[in-house]
Amino acid sequence: MSTAPAETIKTRTITPDGLPLVVTRLFKGVVYREADEKLWQSLMELSAQTRDYVAVLGLELVLDDTEGYAFLRSSPAADADLPRLIPRRQLTFHVSLLLALLRARLAEFDQQNSETRLIMTADQIGDMVSVFLPESSNEARVLDQLATNIKKVTELGFLRKLRGADQTYEVARIIKAYVDAQWLEEFDSRLADYRSALADDKAAGNKTEVDKA
């Protein structure tokens, strides 16, 4: 007596609506709540699925609902054989110093103000940085270097140039995710190291790295 073959039951993973868009946008860079409320809502609803999805690729989701930003970075627990999808970018010494000072200024601002947006002009940023730089007779060179560093920090997404306001920037709150509280606690000693290094001509070759999409 012959019997009919048992029916093969196939299962497949159903991708939630909206997940492909959320993940694709995260791979393109930082997602801000204020820039796209609808996308942000989808991300909040699919945060668990997003974390599971990117974890397979050796990435982790950093999501701060209070500050309103999310991004991907390499997971420290990722398989060492996996290629790095989020490159590490080298930062010059002076760009690193500028990031440190902006982070400290944001912490001070949060303690003293109820507002959430820290706005600074290029002149204010220059005054903040100049305290930690050695004296120079070449003012034009100093200004050029400052403009270059501000441009680089803007490209990295830590400063946002305000429309219609010449040389005026908002300090992006995402900087808190890169320069964390522990780093900030050691700020004074780090600045002492900066002063010492800046007095040495060799400091121009010093570089640090940061994950950035």
Q: What is the mean pLDDT of residues 10-18?
A: 63
158 within 8 A of 175, measured Cβ to Cβ: yes
Three-class secondary structure of residue 89 per DSSP: strand
14 within 8 A of 35, measured Cβ to Cβ: no
CA nearest neighbour of 101 among 78, 130, 79, 75: 130
Strand 168-171 with 159-161, pairing: antiparallel
9-13, 15-19, 118-122: range with lowest mean pLDDT: 9-13
Burial class (CB in 10 A: 0-12, 13-18, 19+), 185: exposed
Question: How many angstroms from the chain centroid is the CA of residue 28?
Answer: 13
170 within 8 A of 117, measured Cβ to Cβ: yes
What distance in Å separates the CA atoms of residue 16 and residue 197, rounded to the nearest whole number? 52
> What percentage of the chain has pLDDT greater than the value 70?
73
- Per-residue pLDDT of 145-200, as tens digits, reads 889 999 999 998 899 999 888 889 999 999 988 877 666 666 666 667 666 766 66
- Per-residue pLDDT of 161-175, as tens digits, reads 998 888 899 999 999
- Per-residue pLDDT of 97-123, as tens digits, reads 899 899 989 989 999 988 889 999 999
Residue 208 forms beta bridges with which residues? Answer: 91
Look at 131 and 203; give whichever has higher pLDDT: 131
